[in-house]
């Protein structure tokens, strides 16, 4: 059964078990803005069983039995063994699990006090990569995809007092997964983001999408959906704009309407204006901080609020290099984003998957534009319809979680794919899905098949799929994977000349503190990396439709792909900042380039 079908079946079973309503709930994958709800964290130490040979399901470890008679015994126990932090990857928590790819069972007790007229939901920010969830011995849901949230309703299933929760997590790489078998980052497994027990009233605002109506800064557009399909009054308040509007939803619990506003201050890079917004219905009320901006392309330019804006970007993985583990907290977000800000960026390409909400929300508060993408990273089987429906599910979950975050200006649908009919159809279905959910963003994909045409003496690319995108992006490692065919000052580009082009990756590796020949790639020296940056910056001046650049990458990051024994040791060393947090020589070159661009922008 494919991914969507599994979710649907799980949802249908749950609805059948839900005690109160006869009508079906809204079909959204989870509630919008979980951090704005009434919740308690189920984070902390969980008990864990490592199940290398996948025996736990057969043994029904989720029943958590203990011997009751003289004849009984069980070859497992959640008590007295491994304890793992949640949120967190397991790889960084014990040396034995550093390379572990397989199943780990997580378990914990928690107290609940379910009240009549209330509903409870269990919400996972992300579990990497696939999981099954059991409550009090019964499976209640499953999910695939390591970087997006999911939720399951617990109403009618919770006991007053003690409850026992088990999550079977598996991070084995497979050809039909996304990402697939080999990729250039660490395959962290575990319950990697917050776990929350959320309480709502019987009827509540399940989803809302608040944004500008097109390019009109005098008009806010709201779409919303209630959990239960019923006509009801819903109120949207934006006190600072003197908006308080009540509308009646249709019989399906949906409403869409515009509100005229005066004096709205737009959010833009470097000026992070956000408004308090509250959406309420009956006993339910959910509050958010929302910014307003509009995006367009005009010829080869990207316009934010009508102003041509060059993207001074950087990328990072959701990883704290010094801790050698996944980033998951507000403090982690602060560390990653403050280092990005120091470089002088106005944008971050979140590599290569949706990152946690702490990062997205803090970037928004700091006035930094985001490009967020799903992990369609090389090696994907585009012929496989099951993989396609997983990709659609991931895209939907990413957009659904973050479409109220104005900082997100780009949805990325793929990284480094090769043209084929199957690839085109797959990516087209992603674009169609995305645009149907959210037409307020620019859609982008990164390609790597730019080549030097000996006849025209230009850099060119032939990929007809670029026609479908608002912005085209290219990863090009001149001076690293590709020797220079001409000096950088003569490297003229002729790639999608009528569209905005972002160089979404460039760079090379250097070991921090290693000094050597600035002309020798194999010196792995800061000098070589710095020179490579100088050369690429020179080349950028000859890309007429250049709308932004994004070096690869801010920090050295862990990758089993990278096994040079002295220079890499499981680290991709393309960071501008080392795994210890030290800035390499190339960092200063990039910082100065961004200063120059920023000044010339004014
Ligand atoms: C790429 C990939 C990125 C890799 C990088 C590299 O093109 O998009 O994920 O880490 O190259 O270092 O080779």
552 lines ligand 1 (CB under 6 A): yes
- Place 10 in a pLDDT band, splitting at 50, 70 and 90: very low
What is the three-class DSSP state of 128? strand
For residue 458, report the distance from its CA to the centre of ligand 1, in Å. 23
Q: For 521-566, how does the pLDDT look when each residue is reduced to its tens digit (9 = 90+)? A: 999 999 999 999 999 999 999 999 999 999 999 999 999 999 999 9
64 lines ligand 1 (CB under 6 A): no
**How many other CB atoms are there within 10 angstroms of residue 159's CB atom?**
12
Q: Is 133 left (phi over 0), alpha (psi -120 to 50) or beta?
A: beta
For residue 342, report the distance from its CA to the centre of ligand 1, in Å. 23
Asked whether residue 11 carries a pLDDT value surpassing 50, the answer given is no
- Place 138 in a pLDDT band, splitting at 50, 70 and 90: very high
What is the three-class DSSP state of 212? strand
Which of 318, 378, 475 has the most ligand 1 atoms within 8 A of CB, as the residue to mutate? 475
- Place 6 in a pLDDT band, splitting at 50, 70 and 90: very low
Which of 412, 552, 554 has the most ligand 1 atoms within 8 A of CB, as the residue to mutate? 552
Query: pTM of the entire structure?
Result: 0.95
Mean confidence (pLDDT) of the chain? 95
Residue nearest to atom 2 of ligand 1 (CA): 184
Tokens 């800061």 label which residue? 526
pLDDT at 4: 41
Can you give the length of the chain in residues? Answer: 602
Q: Please, which residues have CB within 8 angstroms of residue 59's CB and are 6 or more apart in sequence?
A: 74, 75, 76
Q: Which two tokens stand for residue 240?
A: 């600072």
Asked whether residue 26 carries a pLDDT value surpassing 90, the answer given is no
- Place 21 in a pLDDT band, splitting at 50, 70 and 90: very low
184 lines ligand 1 (CB under 6 A): yes
357 lines ligand 1 (CB under 6 A): no
Q: For 568-587, how does the pLDDT look when each residue is reduced to its tens digit (9 = 90+)? A: 999 999 999 999 999 999 99
For residue 295, report the distance from its CA to the centre of ligand 1, in Å. 28
Asked whether residue 17 carries a pLDDT value surpassing 90, the answer given is no
574 lines ligand 1 (CB under 6 A): yes
Q: Which two tokens stand for residue 3?
A: 């991914």
Q: What is the 3-state secondary structure (H, E, C) of 231-299?
A: CCEEEEEEHHHCEEEEEECCCCCEEEEEEECCCCCCCECCECCCEEEEEEECCEEEEEEECCCCEEEEC
For residue 184, report the distance from its CA to the centre of ligand 1, in Å. 6
Residue nearest to atom 9 of ligand 1 (CA): 184
Question: Residue 557 CA: which ligand 1 atom is closest?
Answer: 10
505 lines ligand 1 (CB under 6 A): yes
Q: For 417-449, how does the pLDDT look when each residue is reduced to its tens digit (9 = 90+)? A: 999 999 999 999 999 999 999 999 999 999 999
In the chain, the percentage of residues whose pLDDT exceeds 90 is 95
Residue nearest to atom 4 of ligand 1 (CA): 184
pLDDT at 12: 40
CA distance 362 to 343: 17
Q: What is the 3-state secondary structure (H, E, C) of 453-483?
A: ECCCCEEECCCHHHHHCCEEEEECCECCCEC
What is the three-class DSSP state of 151? strand
475 lines ligand 1 (CB under 6 A): yes
- Place 602 in a pLDDT band, splitting at 50, 70 and 90: low
Q: Please, which residues have CB within 8 angstroms of residue 306's CB and are 6 or more apart in sequence?
A: 215, 294, 296
Q: What is the 3-state secondary structure (H, E, C) of 332-379?
A: HHHHHHHHHHHCCCCEEEECCCCCCHHHHHHHHHCCCEEEEECCCECC
415 lines ligand 1 (CB under 6 A): yes
Question: Residue 185 CA: which ligand 1 atom is closest?
Answer: 10
120 lines ligand 1 (CB under 6 A): no
317 lines ligand 1 (CB under 6 A): no
User: Could you tell me if 100 and 129 are in contact, meaning their C-beta atoms sit under 8 angstroms apart?
Assistant: no
Stretch (H or E) spanning 326? strand 325-326
- Place 148 in a pLDDT band, splitting at 50, 70 and 90: very high
Which of 316, 502, 505 has the most ligand 1 atoms within 8 A of CB, as the residue to mutate? 505
């Amino acid at each position: 059964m494919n991914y969507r079908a599994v979710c649907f079946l799980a949802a249908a079973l749950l609805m059948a078990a839900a005690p109160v309503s006869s009508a079906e709930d809204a079909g959204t994958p989870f509630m919008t803005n979980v951090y704005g709800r009434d919740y308690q964290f189920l984070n902390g130490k969980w008990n864990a069983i490592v199940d290398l040979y996948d025996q736990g399901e057969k043994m029904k470890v989720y029943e958590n039995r203990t011997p009751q008679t003289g004849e009984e015994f069980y070859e497992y126990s959640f008590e007295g063994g491994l304890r793992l932090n949640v949120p967190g990857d397991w790889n960084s928590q014990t040396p034995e699990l550093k390379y572990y790819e397989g199943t780990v069972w997580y378990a914990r007790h928690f107290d609940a006090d379910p009240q009549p007229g209330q509903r409870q939901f269990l919400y996972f920010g992300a579990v990497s990569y696939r999981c099954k969830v059991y409550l009090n011995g019964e499976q209640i849901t499953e999910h695939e995809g390591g970087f997006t949230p999911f939720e399951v309703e617990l109403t009618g299933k919770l006991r007053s007092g003690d409850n026992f929760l088990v999550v079977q997590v598996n991070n084995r790489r497979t050809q039909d997964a996304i990402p697939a078998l080999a990729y250039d980052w660490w395959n962290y497994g575990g319950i990697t983001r917050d776990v929350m027990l959320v309480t709502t009233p019987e009827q509540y605002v399940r989803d809302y999408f608040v944004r500008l109506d097109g390019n009109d800064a005098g008009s806010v557009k709201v779409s919303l959906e209630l959990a239960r399909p019923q006509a009801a009054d819903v109120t949207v308040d934006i006190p600072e704009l003197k908006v308080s509007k009540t509308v009646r939803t249709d019989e399906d619990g949906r409403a869409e309407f515009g509100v005229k506003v005066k004096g709205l201050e737009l959010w833009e890079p470097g000026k992070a204006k956000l408004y308090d917004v509250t959406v309420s219905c009956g006993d339910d009320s959910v509050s958010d901080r929302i910014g307003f901006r509009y995006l367009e392309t005009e010829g080869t330019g990207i316009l934010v609020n009508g102003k041509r804006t060059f993207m001074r970007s950087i990328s990072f993985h959701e990883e704290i290099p010094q801790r050698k583990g996944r980033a998951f907290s507000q403090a982690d977000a602060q560390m990653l984003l403050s280092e990005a800000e120091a470089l002088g960026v106005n944008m971050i390409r979140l590599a290569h998957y949706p990152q946690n909400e702490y990062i997205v929300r803090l970037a928004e508060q700091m006035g930094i534009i985001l490009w967020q993408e799903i992990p369609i990273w090389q090696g994907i089987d585009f012929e496989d319809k099951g993989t396609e429906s997983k990709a659609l599910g991931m895209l939907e979950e990413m957009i659904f979680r973050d479409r109220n975050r104005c900082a997100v200006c780009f949805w990325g649908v793929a990284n480094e794919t090769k043209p084929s009919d199957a690839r085109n159809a797959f990516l087209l279905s992603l674009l169609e899905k995305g645009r149907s959910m959210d037409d307020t963003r620019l859609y982008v994909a990164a390609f790597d098949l730019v080549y030097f045409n000996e006849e025209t003496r230009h850099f060119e690319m032939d990929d007809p799929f670029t026609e479908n995108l608002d912005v085209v992006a290219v990863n090009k490692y001149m001076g690293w994977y590709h020797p220079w065919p001409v000096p950088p000052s003569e490297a003229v580009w002729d790639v999608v000349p009528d569209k905005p082009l972002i160089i979404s990756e460039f760079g090379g590796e250097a070991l921090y503190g290693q000094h050597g020949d600035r002309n020798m790639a194999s010196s792995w020296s800061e000098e070589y990396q710095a020179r490579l940056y100088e050369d690429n910056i020179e080349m950028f001046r000859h890309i007429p439709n250049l709308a932004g650049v994004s070096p690869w990458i801010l920090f050295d990051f862990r990758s089993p792909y990278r096994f040079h024994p002295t220079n890499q040791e499981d680290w991709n060393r393309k960071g501008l900042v080392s795994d210890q947090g030290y800035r390499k020589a190339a960092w200063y070159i990039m910082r100065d380039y961004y200063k120059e661009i920023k000044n010339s922008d004014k």
